[in-house]
Amino acid sequence: MIIKPKVRGFVCVTAHPTGCTAHIQQQIDHVKAKGPIKHGPKRVLVIGASTGYGLASRITAAFGSGAATLGIFFERPSEEGRPATPGWYNTIAFSRAAKAAGLYAGNINGDAFSNDIKQQAIAAIAKDMGGPIDLIVYSLASPRRTHPTTGVVHKSVLKPLGAPYTNKTVDTDKGIVSEVTIEPANEAEATDTVAVMGGEDWEMWIQALGDAKLLAPGATAVAYSYIGPVHTWPIYKDGTIGTAKVDLERAARAIDAKLKAHGNGRAFISVNKALVTQASSAIPVVPLYISILYKVMKAAGTHEGCIEQMQRLFATQLYNGNSLKFDREGRVRVDDWEMRPEIQNPISEIWPQVTTENLAALTDIAGYRTEFLKLFGFGLPGVDYDAEVEPHESMP
């Protein structure tokens, strides 16, 4: 079939297999061009491995350090005549490339919050990976979690706390800038968001791996967070998601203590840059901020995507003989370039001026859209989008 993008609000309901493969290859090429990462991980578990930051971490571990990787993700496979979600094609492309390079790439498609998937992962590590895990990347972004013990389904919300929040937002598809008011979360919504995006599940993974004796002495565990600028604080840092991230930091400290006692391992939070991913496009106000951020960072020559961020995290902080540099709260910051005053000050100047009419001139909405479509395999150079393509692909 011929597959074209079908954008519905902040999702694209189609994905292009050849385009996703080209997108993966771009990321592999970036990591290879940067050269080997010395003293890197050898056996890596990535939870949330099929898109965004988790996928970039997996590519960096495999192609920067020659790591065997096991990826956990939740994607809709393709069917006859119906494309999969992009993470399905991304994972197939990654796995083929890893295997061609002689690297183990195992995959489990299912609910990472469940006990069943944790046990499947443990069985796969014990059977196929030839030793315990030395790096666990926790990079889930999910709208819901069925609690494995209680069976309760928790739904996360992206809302402010305490008071309504009004700010500008952009409909990235239609290019319309408008004002949006988001009502505050109630207590149950706030607690539910912590249950989904907080640290309990990360701790459960570490516990399960530890119980199965599959954590290497000195193992590293990392999870990702975001802070961002004042413009988005009410909906992000000080909102429901920010509260969940505070809980993730609590979990990082608990896991760190556990891993320290096990061969001097470590756990920490890396605060990453705001980027176009499927998760971030769903947050009100944030896409407008990202459009301005891209404009300013590209002009400054400091713009990065997921793969540049993760390659920099691994190469300059985690490995290569470097040590982690922490902020006052004990977090690693690869959002450092984003948060520089020479980036944030121009954004604060542009922010109040943006309207529907000047959106294209004052922001990089074009770059936002290009990046968004790339997530689904569209707009990649060298791909013939008018050609017939087989949407049904099986996991190798």
Measured in whole angstroms, the distance separating CA 91 from the mean position of its chain's CA atoms is 14
- Could you tell me the two tokens for 363? 């922001």
Cα atoms in the Cβ-side hemisphere of radius 13 Å centred on 46:
29
Which one, 65 or 225, has the nearer CB to ligand NAD?
225
Binding site for ligand NAD (CB under 6 A): 48-54, 72-75, 87, 111-113, 139-142, 224-226, 272, 274-275, 277-280
Phi/psi for 114 (5° steps) reads -85, 155
Q: Which of 53, 89, 226, 236 is catalytic?
A: 236
Q: In what order do the strands lie in the sheet with 266-271?
A: 105-109, 68-73, 43-47, 133-138, 215-225, 266-271, 332-333
Least distance (Å) from ligand NAD to the CB of residue 169? Answer: 16
Beta carbons of 158 and 226 less than 8 angstroms apart: no
Q: Which residues contact 111 (CB under 8 A, 6 or more apart)?
A: 74, 117, 146
Which one, 36 or 367, has the nearer CB to ligand NAD?
367
Which one, 72 or 315, has the nearer CB to ligand NAD?
72
Least distance (Å) from ligand NAD to the CB of residue 171? Answer: 19
Measured in whole angstroms, the distance separating CA 205 from the mean position of its chain's CA atoms is 18
Least distance (Å) from ligand NAD to the CB of residue 321? Answer: 26
Least distance (Å) from ligand NAD to the CB of residue 268? Answer: 14
What sign does the dihedral 88-90-93-96 (CA atoms) show? negative
Q: In DSSP terms, which residues pair with 215 in a beta bridge?
A: 133
Least distance (Å) from ligand NAD to the CB of residue 227? Answer: 8
Q: Which residues contact 175 (CB under 8 A, 6 or more apart)?
A: 356, 359, 360, 365
d(CA 13, CA 82) in angstroms, rounded, equals 10
Q: Which residue is nearest to ligand NAD (CB)?
A: 52
Which one, 13 or 361, has the nearer CB to ligand NAD?
13
Which one, 141 or 215, has the nearer CB to ligand NAD?
141
Is position 236 annotated as part of the catalytic site?
A: yes
Give the catalytic positions in this structure: 236
